[in-house]
């Protein structure tokens, strides 16, 4: 495998950044993940726009033009011979002697990796449905920025894994679900309305979330962009999560209690299908 590191392509197993990289010492950086279909990038523009916003919010200089970045992403995909999988981009505030305050005249560090993903495995899990658990959301107040500071998300995902579950839904002080550890969370509520938390409320504006909102509207599904509680999720007709790497994943149990009949529902199944069709068709 090959990784892009600050202007050069290197063998993945020996690729390194400096020990004083601020991403390493302070989690002072941001990232994006694109899914790759037939060697092409899904929703290139959406992720690029969010990347620019994350960098601007943290006052990290934009490291290169969108065009140059597209070339690097595609070259990394090509050199790794990835047909279907993901490409990961990380931009940090660069390498400088450790000091909390921003360094002067330091170029950002840029790394890109890409790997193949077996789409069949995800399809099989989506057909069966995945298990979910819940945990308190212990994150900071800027979850709208896609930073590499993911320790609460790591702990949440690990809690899910230790309980044999696929994803952990994080819950605020009011008992309302914020989002998954690496996904946005949705339900089809008891009235048949599609619900997901609004993005004013300290969550990541998922690129897949935005695509699903549009597709749901086109499908004539009634939408309610409003948070839901753990209790509402447990009583819901359907629960599912969305992300660039897992698309739409039905959640068929939550903290051990079955959602509806314990099988993936029609809304999640349909949205997964139309999302995949569109993402494949529009990939660049």
Contacts with ligand PLP, residue ranges (CB under 6 A): 33, 153, 179, 182-184, 204, 206-209, 242-244
What CA–CA distance (Å, rounded) separates 35 from 111? 17
Nearest to 129 by CA among 269, 277, 278, 228: 269
What φ, ψ does residue 8 adopt, rounded to 5°?
-130, 155
Distances (CA, A) of 232 to 24, 71, 175, 181, 228: 39, 45, 10, 19, 6
**How far is the C-alpha of 52 from the C-alpha of 96, rounded, in Å?**
22
Q: Which of 237, 238, 244 shows the shortest CA–CA distance to 275? A: 244
Cα separation of 220 and 227, whole Å? 21
Which pairing describes strands 177-180 and 2-5: parallel, antiparallel, or unpaired? unpaired
Backbone angles phi, psi at 203, to 5 degrees: -130, 170
Residue with tokens 């390493």: 24
Measure the CA–CA gap between 254 and 193, rounded to whole angstroms: 19
- Could you tell me if 134 and 231 are in contact, meaning their C-beta atoms sit under 8 angstroms apart? no
What's the min distance (Å) between Cβ of 226 and ligand PLP?
A: 17
The residues carrying an active-site annotation are 146
Angle between helices 266-282 and 207-218 (to 10 degrees): 110
| Dist. CA 84–CA 199, nearest whole Å | 29
- Are 99 and 221 in contact by the 8 Å Cβ rule? The answer is no
Q: Least distance in Å: CB of 8 to ligand PLP?
A: 27
CB closer to ligand PLP out of 39 and 152: 152
How far is it, in rounded angstroms, from Cα 259 to Cα 131?
A: 10
């Amino acid at each position: 495998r090959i990784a892009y590191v600050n202007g050069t392509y290197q063998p993945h197993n020996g690729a390194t950044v400096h020990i004083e990289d601020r991403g390493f010492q302070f989690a002072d950086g941001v990232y994006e993940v694109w899914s790759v279909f037939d060697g092409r990038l899904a929703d290139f523009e959406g992720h690029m726009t969010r990347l620019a916003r994350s960098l601007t919010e943290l006052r990290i200089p934009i490291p290169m033009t969108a065009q140059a970045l597209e070339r690097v992403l595609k070259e990394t995909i090509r050199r790794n011979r990835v047909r279907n999988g993901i490409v990961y981009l990380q931009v940090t505030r660069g390498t400088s002697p450790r000091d909390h305050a921003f360094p002067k005249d330091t170029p950002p560090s840029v790394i890109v990796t890409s790997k193949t993903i077996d789409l069949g495995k995800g399809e099989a899990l989506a057909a069966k449905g995945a298990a979910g658990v819940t945990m308190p959301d212990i994150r900071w107040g800027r979850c709208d920025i896609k930073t590499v500071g993911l320790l609460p998300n790591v702990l949440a995902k690990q809690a899910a894994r230790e309980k044999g579950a696929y994803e952990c839904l994080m819950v605020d002080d009011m008992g309302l679900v914020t989002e998954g550890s690496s996904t946005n969370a949705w339900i089809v509520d008891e009235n048949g309305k599609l619900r997901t938390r609004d993005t004013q409320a300290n969550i990541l504006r998922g690129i897949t979330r935005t695509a699903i909102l549009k597709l749901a509207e086109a499908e004539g599904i009634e939408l309610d962009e409003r948070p839901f509680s753990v209790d509402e999720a447990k009583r819901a007709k359907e629960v599912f999560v969305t992300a660039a790497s897992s698309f739409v994943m039905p959640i068929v149990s939550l903290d051990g209690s079955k959602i509806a009949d314990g099988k993936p529902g029609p809304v999640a199944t349909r949205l997964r299908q139309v999302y995949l069709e569109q993402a494949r068709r529009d990939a660049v």
